Structure 1
Amino acid sequence: MSMQQFTVQNLATGYGDLQVLQDISFDVGAGECLCIAGRNGVGKTTLMRALSGELPLISGGIQMQGTEISALPTNRRHGLGLSYGPQDSVTFAPLSVKENLTLHYQDQNLERYEHLFALFPRIRERLEQSAGSLSGGERKILSFTRVMAEDAQVVLLDEPTEGVAPENIDHMATVIRSTLQARHSVIVVEQNLSLIEAIADRVIVMDHGAIIHETANGPELRNEISNLLKV
């Protein structure tokens, strides 16, 4: 049995007086990928914001490698090895691509990105351009590249493939599988069933702010999720 690297217990959160999520519980082991599926507006991004520290909890807890992190701000969680690629505001538009990749490091060394540049050469080609000049899909790849190079113990990705070309989605799957082989954990909110099939160990499906189904990856996964999502 894999070590539980990330555990969520009876999580509830929301915005002001509006509670969006209730009684969310799951765990993710070292080297495991958990995908979170669900229709738009069911609370998936709210969950990711709570896990990352952007949104406070109403109740429940989050543990990372046995340490309670529920009360820690985003930067402290990052320092413990939690990286987050949000769905929106994925880049700093006025800054160059290179600056987006290096602003959180003390140096501007791009060697840490070489294996990712090999898969996403357009990012290397556009290092001196402003991130705001990239297409939506390219900004998503830039964000993905930044997050995956951090070598975090737990990676949170919210809709990483939105607007991304199919061949680059395949490359994303390659990078995620490599991260899992290094015994790191990945939690992905995703609607692209091809990516889910390629990377998931387990899938949970959300609706109306709650988990309504959990399943292991397998040959019937696509039909199982499609029936739940009515797509």
Structure 2
Amino acid sequence: MTNHLLSFDDVVCGYGDTEILHGVSGGVAAGRILGVFGRNGVGKTTLSRVLVGEIPVLTGGIKLNGKPIEKTVTYARRRRGIGYMPQVGMVFDNLTVRENLSLSNATSSLEPYFETFPRLAERLDQLAGSMSGGERKILSFVRTMLEETEVTILDEPSEGVQPENIVNMQNCIRAKQEQGHAFILVEQNLSMLMALADTYVGLEAGQGVFEADKSECNRDDLLKILSV
């Protein structure tokens, strides 16, 4: 049985009286990448938010390093090792690029990321809100990657990003994965999913309808879930 770093078991949650996830399960081990996919509105972002503590679990459980965290508040989950790049609201528009990056409290060097994404280095004193959507995504991605965490949840990181920078993102993720970091990659971009994910969970109408190892499926299998 896989020794998951972060796991979620039969999670039910939603917003107010509206239940969005109806018993979703999955997990990711250290040095592995779980790809979560599905069409718009099936509950992918809701899963991300419940894992980081932004919305409560109604029933089911979430564990980090084998210990329950479903009652742990968001900032405490971050301190315990969960990083998060949200799909929207990913940067502080009224802060500069430099100030946004400083929020990660990183001890590692920024230089490798500046070499990969040179536009960031050129715009350190520019307000994040004046950047394009794709540039803000990259800024959020780099800030999240700098955080000292064990597992990172990336919600639609490729959305609005130019193809060459998606490849650069993939290279950054692989490099950190090789150091033992775990990722939950929430994506609709099949090329990115297939390039990175070791295992998959497919969602439809708030339920897990597909679960497989990379070796057990192909692109057509994933496309069936996206075209339901």
Q: TM-score range by the shorter chain?
A: over 0.9
Distance 1:160 1:150 in 2: 16
Aligned positions, number: 228
**Post-superposition shift, 1:112?**
2.5
State the partner residue of 1:165.
Answer: 162
* 1:115-172: CA deviation from partner (whole Å, max 9, x where unpaired): 1111111111111000001100000000000001113101000000000000000011
State the partner residue of 1:129.
Answer: 126
* 1:29-61: CA deviation from partner (whole Å, max 9, x where unpaired): 111100111000001001100001101111111
3-state SS, counterpart of residue 110 of structure 2: helix
Amino acid at match of 1:49: R
Q: CA RMSD in A?
A: 1.6
Amino acid at match of 2:225: L
Task: Mark the runs of 5 or more structure 1 residues left unpaired by the alignment.
Answer: none
State the partner residue of 1:13.
Answer: 13
Picking from 189, 201, 204, the partner of 1:207 is 204
Amino acid at match of 1:118: E
Distance 1:8 1:111 in 2: 30
Distance 1:225 1:5 in 2: 25
**Post-superposition shift, 1:221?**
2.1
Contact 2:20 2:46 in 1 (8 A): yes
Query: Under a length normalisation based on structure 2, what TM-score does the superposition of the two structures give?
Result: 0.95
Amino acid at match of 2:194: E
Picking from 121, 141, 145, the partner of 1:144 is 141
3-state SS, counterpart of residue 57 of structure 1: coil
Task: Mark the runs of 5 or more structure 2 residues left unpaired by the alignment.
Answer: none
Amino acid at match of 1:44: K
3-state SS, counterpart of residue 112 of structure 1: coil
Contact 2:154 2:185 in 1 (8 A): yes
3-state SS, counterpart of residue 31 of structure 1: coil
Quickly say closer, same or farther: Cα 1:139–1:80, change in 2 above 3 A: same
Picking from 188, 196, 200, the partner of 2:193 is 196
State the partner residue of 2:223.
Answer: 226
Q: Give identity over the alignment, percent.
A: 44
State the partner residue of 1:48.
Answer: 48
